[in-house]
Amino acid sequence: MLKIVEIDHLTFKYPDVKALDDVTFSVNKGDFLGIIGPNGAGKSTLFASMLGLTTKYEGTIKFFGQDIRKSKDYLKQIGYVPQKPIFEKNFPATVKDIVHMSLRKESNKNKIDEILQQLWIHELGNRRIGELSGGQQQRVFIAKALVNDPQILILDEPVTGIDRQSIDLFYSILRELNSKQKITIIWSSHDLDAVNQLANHVACLNRTLFFHGESEKFFENDELVKQYSEASMQEHMHHH
């Protein structure tokens, strides 16, 4: 199996607390990894480090065998869907404008229509992004992440505040991207049922890594499952 992401002894310290403490795991090509853990477990810090948004970590992160501190070239192979993209509601950009922002090669412009069609948002192409529902916006941001044919898709809890029907559609899109287009997916989620159905690997993060392995092994372990479903439900208690 080809390791395309290697996280090695990753520690991230804020002045008064360790957000990540000695986290080590790797992701193989073609994996669908679900990262679970309560709010404040360090998932966003992990993603920010992996995406090169911060370098204030200890340890190493490698993509495709290359230390990401040395080169940012790996970002060309990554599509990223943020948790809830923040933008002005009346920002004058259409769906096509938004997807076009990510497009690296102008010669691949027909790819925009292709990807919008694939995600069933083709008819929304000329609408402004701020006019769309949460679920539609989310599909636009997936389209934007996919337009350069990335090898890896990284998604940060992307179903926050989205209706059930859109979430189901979103999950079926993810499954197809992983199984048919062989895109490696790294996905953080609160939804244990969805992780059970979709992911083939699970990482349980709560500042340290409590579990990393095949999802069957995780869901066979009743104690771990119980802990993480409780941890998710009691996330507001976390600070006590």
Using CB under 8 A, list all residues that contact other proteins.
51-53, 72, 75-76, 78, 80, 82, 85-88, 90-94, 96-98, 100-103, 126, 128, 130-131
Considering the complex, what minimum distance in angstroms separates the CB of residue 107 from other proteins?
A: 13
Place of tokens 């310290």: 13
Q: Are 76 and 63 in contact (CB under 8 A)?
A: no
CB-wise, 148 or 166, nearer to other proteins? 148
CB-wise, 94 or 227, nearer to other proteins? 94
Q: In the chain, how long is the greatest CA-to-CA distance? A: 54
The residues, ordered by sequence, that sit 6+ positions from 38 with a Cβ below 8 Å of its Cβ are: 206, 231, 232, 234, 235, 238
Considering the complex, what minimum distance in angstroms separates the CB of residue 46 from other proteins?
A: 14
| CA 122 centroid distance within chain | 23
Considering the complex, what minimum distance in angstroms separates the CB of residue 219 from other proteins?
A: 31
Considering the complex, what minimum distance in angstroms separates the CB of residue 134 from other proteins?
A: 16
What is the rounded distance in angstroms from the CA atom of residue 187 to the CA atom of residue 109? 28
Q: Provide the CB-side half-sphere exposure for 31 (13 A, CA).
A: 24
The amino acid sitting at 74 is Y
Considering the complex, what minimum distance in angstroms separates the CB of residue 51 from other proteins?
A: 5
CB-wise, 44 or 166, nearer to other proteins? 44
CB-wise, 99 or 195, nearer to other proteins? 99
CB-wise, 88 or 223, nearer to other proteins? 88
